[in-house]
Structure 1
Amino acid sequence: MDYGNELRSDIHTRATTPLIGIYDLNSASLAARHYGGLFVSGFGFTASYYGLPDIGFIA
């Protein structure tokens, strides 16, 4: 089974599907060892690529 079909089958179950946010290939390679699902936002990837600071949604 490929990764896309495995994620689709996990989503269609009644259990919670854990996903972790990543922002570049380094964080993706580390997170993929422990999580079956990853997500990346457009801003997170772009900010990491250009070296921009966090925009402060939380703080």
Structure 2
Amino acid sequence: SERPLHGKTIKEIERERIVKALDYTNFNISRAASLLGMSRSTLYRKMRALNLY
């Protein structure tokens, strides 16, 4: 199991970062992925894993 970091799991932190990037870019996947330093396909994969897509 994941060890909490300041009371949050890595998944929770990652979810927050993705949601903030999507909100900031008005859900422009390409721009959000670029902001997060990942490819669009990686962002989609992470979104599916976090039930965001």
TM-score class, shorter-chain normalisation, is 0.3 to 0.5
Q: Normalized per residue, which structure has more strand? A: 1
Q: Normalized per residue, which structure has more helix? A: 2
- Normalising by the residue count of structure 1, what TM-score does the alignment of the two structures yield? 0.30
Computing the radius of gyration from Cα coordinates, the structure with the larger value is: 1
